[in-house]
Amino acid sequence: MKSNDEREQKHMKYVLTSTAAALIMGVVTLASGPASAAVVCNRDGECWHAAHAYRYRPAFGLTVHENNWRWGPSEHFTWREHTGRGYWRNGVWVRF
């Protein structure tokens, strides 16, 4: 039969292990960042992931694709990731 000290130590170990696991999962979740909702490409072939499927003005000359979109073997695009709202124009990130 286990003593009270042994049971308390086992319980404390369980609590600490559970707490550590929960904290690690929280950090991993926060570090993963937001999921992308769309792939956006401009006329120059620069593409990036957008956190939201924004409605860009037609004057921007952008094409919004589904998040799983990939270009074909005969097409040429360049990935240019950036955070925040905006779009690439002439190699410059334009925020809005």
What is 27-87 written as a DSSP string? HHHHHT-PPP-EEEE-TTSEEEEESS-----GGG--EEEETT----TT---EE----SSEE
29: pLDDT confidence band, cut at 50, 70 and 90? very low
Whether residue 85 contacts residue 77, with contact meaning beta carbons closer than 8 Å, is answered with no
Nearest to 47 by CA among 79, 74, 17, 24: 79
DSSP code for 24: H
Nearest to 62 by CA among 45, 74, 78: 45
Q: What is the pLDDT of residues 48-63, one digit of tens each?
A: 999 887 888 899 999 9
Q: What is the pLDDT of residues 59-79, one digit of tens each?
A: 999 999 999 999 999 999 999
Using a cut of 0.85, tell me whether the model's pTM lies above it: no
Identify the three-state secondary structure at position 12: helix
